[in-house]
Chain A
Amino acid sequence: MIWKILLFLIIAFVSVAGIAFPIVEKPEFWYQFPLIPGLEENAKIIFFHVPTSWLTVIAFLMSTIYSIKYLRRKDLIDDAKAHTAAQLGMIFCILATVTGAVWAKFAWGSFWSWDPRQTSIFALLLIYGALFALRSAVEQEEKRATLASVYSIIAFVTVPFFIFIMPRIMKGLHPGSADDTHSGPVVDFKMNSNMLLIFYLSLIGFTILYYWMWQVGYKSMIYKDKLNKQF
């Protein structure tokens, strides 16, 4: 219960602070964000867009972990957990793509410009989209779970490359690309400490939110499977 109250407080604080705190050239007070050249007010997207892609990685990682567990123990509960995590990963992957595209319209001039970051997330969407196609194509439960687990493990191998490596070594429009002189590599944010604090709070808040969604999701899936087996 406590972590749910904490989640509410974090998300409420991040939503208010992330939107309302002003961006100024030389921050003097704790509630002011620094101006990042080339991003300006648009920089506030970082509190809401980056967590979605962060959750994509977390969710796909969880899906892989539970897929490995399933292959070791052959317990269908692990498969339900892996499947729910993959579903959530897909939802957040789509959200990251859509929020990024809306932002790109105003930052880069068009919704889609095949920037390395956009290309890599598109490839990721296709790879994980195929996982759901695979699941829906197999009727028999154990066979479906085994195939999906193996596919999920193989698919995850591409995630670090597509999300962390490729967009950083290639030149592109996305902040953090190889030739980005304004905001630098993503790991070296031009943020001051309070912007960083709200950014990390946002990551923590969204991670807890993900955990909650995942828990409710897999529990309902397990009960549905149980009921289906009784008839």
Chain B
Amino acid sequence: MESLVSFLSSNAIYIVLIIVLIVWVGVFGYLFMLDKRLKNIESEMKGENK
């Protein structure tokens, strides 16, 4: 862990990369939530057609 911290502090560009990754994880999480909601809608619509 200590070596990782010292590696990152001497190679600051990787910190920026981690930060970009965190932002994309957030966007991905939102997409995941939307997907769940749409699946709910889908299954309800299928139930309606029967």
In the complex the two chains form, is B13's CB within 8 Å of A19's CB? yes
Bound-state Cα–Cα, A105 to B19, Å = 12
Q: Please indicate the chain A residues that have their CB under 8 angstroms from the CB of B15 in the complex.
A: 41-42, 45, 102-103, 106
How many Cβ-Cβ contacts under 8 Å join chain A to chain B?
Answer: 75
Q: Please indicate the chain B residues that have their CB under 8 angstroms from the CB of A98 in the complex.
A: 22
In the complex the two chains form, is B30's CB within 8 Å of A213's CB? yes
In the complex the two chains form, is A99's CB within 8 Å of B19's CB? yes
Q: Please indicate the chain A residues that have their CB under 8 angstroms from the CB of B38 in the complex.
A: 220
In the complex the two chains form, is B44's CB within 8 Å of A106's CB? no
Bound-state Cα–Cα, A143 to B13, Å = 49
In the complex the two chains form, is A217's CB within 8 Å of B22's CB? no
In the complex the two chains form, is B16's CB within 8 Å of A48's CB? yes
Bound-state Cα–Cα, A1 to B20, Å = 25
Bound-state Cα–Cα, A106 to B9, Å = 6
With A19-B13, A42-B12, A217-B34 in contact, is A91–B18 under 8 Å at CB? no
Q: Please indicate the chain A residues that have their CB under 8 angstroms from the CB of B9 in the complex.
A: 106
Bound-state Cα–Cα, A94 to B18, Å = 15
Q: Report A's interface with B, CB cutoff 8 A.
A: 15, 18-19, 40-42, 44-45, 48-49, 52, 87-88, 91-92, 94-95, 98-99, 102-103, 105-106, 209, 213, 216-217, 220-221, 223-224, 227-228, 230-231
